[in-house]
Amino acid sequence: MRNGFIKLLAGMVGLLIACPSWAAHPLITDDTGTQGKGKFQLELNGQYDWDEDDEDLTVKSTGGQASATLSYGVAENVDLVLSLPYIWGKAEVNEETVYDEKGFGDVTLETKLRLLEKNGFSLAIKPGISFPTGNEEKGLGAGLVGGHIFLIASQELGEWAFHGNFGYIRNENNVDERRDLWHASFAATWEVIKNLKLAANAGIEKNPDEDANNDPAFLVGGVIYSIKENIDVDCGVKFGLSKSETDISALAGMTFRF
């Protein structure tokens, strides 16, 4: 039983770390924005998850991650992005703990390149590599070097902004999971008043579990508030739309630009 949960959680962590870093937390979907040459952005984000399944056994799991993501503008339209997560997870079956681990996860290094920008519409690509810095035996990392590449599209229309992502994830692993995964998602933000935005996000990813009969799908709702021009705070809630997705997650973060 314990080995089964380690396999499951390792796969979930591997997929989470392989995905691109959030650019406008609490959104999962990235946008095409870059920092500008010589400029930095630091994101400090947290997530707490709850999940319960009573179909055969009463299975309860909690966990989440805190992450730091640093972006640097190599050029006006090119960023380097480094992400380091700290992960924790706990699972109980019929109130008996079968998994309880925490520690640093896999580090991700990405490049975002904006290819096109015209009349409020822009396109970017974002390739990345995940390094096996997390403890594979504890289910905190994939154990192998992985990679991904995402196509990002954004459209700005006054107070509204829309973003779409489609990506391929190479899920290298040692636990017999699918290695070829995809991600598709769409997000929108609305600046209700100056410095205050409402955000919504929906998406779906290929399930890494070969035996699963559905794919994780999610819906996110949240708020982004700019305290100053270079400081944002945010919060949100992520809901699972399919059985294989975590039931509910609480999201919060801060972003600093300098």
27 — pLDDT class (breaks 50, 70, 90): very high
Q: Which of 9-13, 65-69, 146-150, 190-194 is predicted least confidently?
A: 9-13
Which residue, 212, 209, 9, 176, is CA-closest to 99?
9
pLDDT of residue 148: 97
Containing domain of residue 198, as a range? 2-257
Distance CA 159, CA 187 (A): 14
Burial class of residue 1 in the structure, from the number of CB atoms within 10 Å of its CB (0-12 exposed, 13-18 middle, 19+ buried) = exposed
- The highest-confidence range among 3-7, 50-54, 252-256, by mean pLDDT, is 252-256
Q: Give how many domains the chain has, as a whole number.
A: 1
Query: Is 68 a residue whose pLDDT tops 60?
Result: yes
Distance CA 181, CA 48 (A): 24
Q: Tell me what the pLDDT averaged over the chain comes to.
A: 90
Structure tokens at 228: 């100053």
pLDDT one-digit tens code per residue, 142-160: 899 999 999 999 999 999 9
CATH of the domain at 203: 2.40.160.40
Distance CA 151, CA 128 (A): 12
Mean pLDDT of 161-173: 96
Query: Is 199 a residue whose pLDDT tops 80?
Result: yes
Query: Is 250 a residue whose pLDDT tops 90?
Result: yes
- Global pTM reads 0.89
pLDDT of residue 176: 86
Q: Are 112 and 31 in contact (CB under 8 A)?
A: no
